[in-house]
């Protein structure tokens, strides 16, 4: 299962150039599931995700987000597999997530595109509230599922931020703990994984003008897999890398994407039962002496 997340920057900047790059590179990568952020509405009743991806055979779940700092202008999930249900998750400071119930031919699961708010580095406190609410909502939504949910999006926070540390099990927040798997952290390709960087021709001017940092690099976009301790450990991250980087002259967006290749039921030991199979696994590896 190939999963991509990308903030597509709506129709900002030189969109006539970017649109062609988006169509070509998305077609080349051929993800099964795509989480999209900053997705524009229109034309008419349509939206930018449908405009880009329906010709490639994707089904789209889109939510328009009107108003500033509300995951605007919209957020979407696109899938090559049937979407059987969808949910909009409203977060406490205007952020949002769209979760789609994916039927890939086996056990169904939830795939979620998220944009926690607010977006600036000095506003981490708000993002902490939002990821706690997001974790609670997805835990409830996927309760009892055989497969863990997959969460992807633009989190506007680096791996050392409290919001991301919470999601990955490195600290608690507000008395709550969780442990999502950061796909890039466990199966990255050895690069820093920057997704908003002055190497991008569309991010560089804003890094200089807003951050006073002509040289600026952050990893703020993620693919997460639901905790193997809350759900069964049936999803293995085989590889993960930064994608859709373009060239120093032109890129598909001001963000780079994150592409993860996942394998369902990729570990034969334990039968996907996790901690319940601990002793059984140990006995299979090292049979007790007669």
- The tens digit of pLDDT for each residue in 181-218 reads 999 999 999 999 999 999 999 999 999 999 999 999 99
User: Is the confidence at residue 34, as pLDDT, over 90?
Assistant: yes
Establish whether the linkage from the previous residue to 242 is cis, with ω within 30° of 0: no
Asked if residues 230 and 203 have their Cβ atoms less than 8 Å apart, the reply is: no
Mean pLDDT of the chain: 96
Specify the higher pLDDT residue, 289 or 3: 3
The pLDDT-based confidence of 23 (bands split at 50, 70, 90) is very high
- Tell me, rounded to whole angstroms, the distance of Cα 94 from its chain centroid: 18
Q: How many CB atoms lie within 10 A of CB 20?
A: 12
User: Is the confidence at residue 280, as pLDDT, over 90?
Assistant: no
Specify the higher pLDDT residue, 275 or 88: 88
263: left (phi over 0), alpha (psi -120 to 50) or beta: beta
The two most distant CA atoms of the chain are separated, in Å, by 74
The DSSP-derived string for 205-238 is: HHHHHHHS-SS-EE--EEEEE--TTTS-S-EEEE
Q: What does the pLDDT read at residue 45?
A: 86
Give the integer Cα–Cα distance in Å for 64 and 72. 7
For the record, the structure tokens of 196 come out as 């908003």
Consecutive H or E run containing 86: strand 83-90
- Tell me, rounded to whole angstroms, the distance of Cα 54 from its chain centroid: 20
Q: What does the pLDDT read at residue 281?
A: 87
The pLDDT-based confidence of 270 (bands split at 50, 70, 90) is confident
Q: What does the pLDDT read at residue 161?
A: 98
- Assigned CATH topology for domain 2-285: Deoxyribonuclease I; Chain A (3.60.10)
For the record, the structure tokens of 214 come out as 């002509």
Going from the C-alpha of 273 to that of each of 111, 221, 235, 265, the distances in angstroms are 21, 30, 12, 11
Q: What is the mean pLDDT of residues 165-172?
A: 98
Each domain of the chain, given as residue ranges in start order, spans 2-285
H-type alpha helices, 30-182: 48-53, 124-141, 162-167
The pLDDT-based confidence of 49 (bands split at 50, 70, 90) is very high
């Amino acid at each position: 299962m190939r999963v991509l997340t990308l903030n597509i920057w709506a129709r900002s900047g030189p969109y006539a150039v970017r649109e062609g790059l988006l169509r070509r590179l998305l077609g080349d990568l051929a993800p099964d599931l795509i989480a999209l952020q900053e997705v524009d509405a229109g034309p008419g009743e349509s939206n930018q995700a449908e405009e880009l991806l329906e010709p490639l055979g994707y089904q789209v779940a889109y939510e328009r987000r009107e108003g500033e700092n509300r995951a605007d202008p919209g957020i979407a999930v696109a899938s090559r597999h049937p979407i059987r249900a969808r949910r909009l998750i409203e977060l406490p400071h205007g952020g949002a997530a769209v979760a789609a119930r994916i039927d890939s031919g086996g056990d169904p699961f939830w795939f979620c595109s998220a944009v926690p708010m607010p977006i600036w580095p000095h506003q981490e406190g708000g993002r902490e509230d939002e990821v706690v609410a997001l974790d609670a909502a997805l835990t409830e939504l996927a309760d009892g599922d055989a497969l863990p949910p997959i969460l992807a999006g633009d989190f506007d926070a680096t791996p050392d931020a409290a919001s991301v540390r919470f999601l990955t099990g490195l600290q608690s927040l507000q008395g709550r703990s969780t442990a999502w798997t950061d796909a890039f952290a466990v199966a990255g390709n050895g690069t820093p994984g920057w997704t908003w960087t002055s190497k991008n021709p569309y991010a560089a001017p804003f890094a200089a003008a807003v951050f006073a940092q002509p040289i600026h690099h952050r990893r703020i976009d993620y693919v997460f897999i639901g905790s193997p301790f809350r759900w069964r450990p049936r999803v293995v991250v085989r590889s993960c890398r930064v994608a859709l980087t373009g060239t120093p002259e032109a890129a598909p967006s001001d963000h780079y994407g994150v592409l993860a290749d996942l394998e369902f039921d990729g570990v034969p030991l334990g039968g996907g039962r996790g901690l319940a199979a601990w002793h059984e696994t140990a006995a299979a590896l090292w049979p007790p002496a007669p």
